[in-house]
Amino acid sequence: MTRDLGYIIILAAGSGSRFSTALSKQFMELQGKPIVVRTIEKYLKHFSANKIRVVIAEKHRVIWDKITDFFPHLKPIITAYGGSERFYSVRNALETISCSEKELIGVHDAVRPFVSDEVIQRVYQIAQAQGCCVPIFNSVNTLRLVHSDGNETIDRSSVKEVQNPQVFRNALLRNAYMQPYEKRFHDDATLVENLGYKIYTCNGNYENIKITYPQDLYLAEGLMKWFENKNNEISNIQDYKAIHVH
Ligand SMILES: C[C@](O)(CO)[C@H](O)COP(=O)(O)O
């Protein structure tokens, strides 16, 4: 494992109003493993367990305890309880972290299990230099701005989709979360920007989707297969080289 890049808060307290299943989407399985576990395991490659916080809903305590019985390597991870909005969940998690002002803290939705190792490293590296960083990705769709009296096409190259992790210096993130809650605060960058700070960005990865609707589970299963094939291709090339290239 590489040295800790900082801290990471993984938000797994959502009730999934857009998913409409009895079991919240972050606990549903992807090839036999809960989505939240897959997301945490991405971070365990870069962080020790004591630098990871997982925010769960209080009513999901039993589910979480069952998960950690099944995956004991997650037991050392400290949990915080979620609030009524994402904003309050992050705030609660920040209360469980005590570190220097300059230390980096990232925030990641549990339902984004496909973030790449490169993106995690890149975002933390840029945040180390600039104070914050957020991964973004080009839209593949043409975009239209809708207003009260009509709508118009906008230049899609100037509009980006925002992904996770969103990483900030501890002091900056804490200041941002001292602000009173506003409904338009959908992510951490919006809060930091509201304080007047510039948000630094870098390229995210296309597969880093947010599993939001039931159909996304099928997309996620497909992506798992895509990764398997990709890895098989790489090991086939390595086997080929080992045999044929001298
Ligand atoms: C943080 C986020 O994933 C960036 O795209 C997004 O804003 C989260 O939105 P949600 O409505 O809380 O799922």
Instruction: Write out pLDDT tens, residues 23-37.
Output: 899 999 999 999 999
Q: Supply the pLDDT for residue 117.
A: 97
Whole-number average pLDDT of the chain? 94
Cβ of 92 less than 6 Å from ligand 1? no
pLDDT at 20 over 80: no
Q: What would the two tokens of residue 85 be?
A: 């909005």
Q: What percent of the chain has pLDDT over 70?
A: 92
Cβ of 108 less than 6 Å from ligand 1? no
Q: For 6-20, 71-85, 140-154, 195-209, which range has the lowest pLDDT when averaged over its residues?
A: 6-20
Cβ of 188 less than 6 Å from ligand 1? no
Report which of 9, 228, 6, 2 is spatially closest to residue 112, judged by C-alpha positions. Answer: 9
Cβ of 174 less than 6 Å from ligand 1? no
CA distance 229 to 236: 10
Radius of gyration of the chain (CA): 19
Mean pLDDT to the nearest integer, 27-51: 97
Residue 54 dihedral angles phi and psi, to the nearest 5°? -120, 125
Mean pLDDT to the nearest integer, 71-100: 98
pLDDT at 241 over 90: no
Q: What is the ipTM of this complex?
A: 0.95
Q: How many CB atoms within 10 Å of residue 24? A: 22
Q: Say if residues 170 and 100 touch (Cβ distance below 8 Å).
A: yes
Q: Supply the pLDDT for residue 34.
A: 98
pLDDT at 131 over 90: yes
pLDDT at 40 over 80: yes
Report which of 201, 204, 130 is spatially closest to residue 172, judged by C-alpha positions. Answer: 130
Q: Supply the pLDDT for residue 233.
A: 75
Residue nearest to atom 11 of ligand 1 (CA): 186
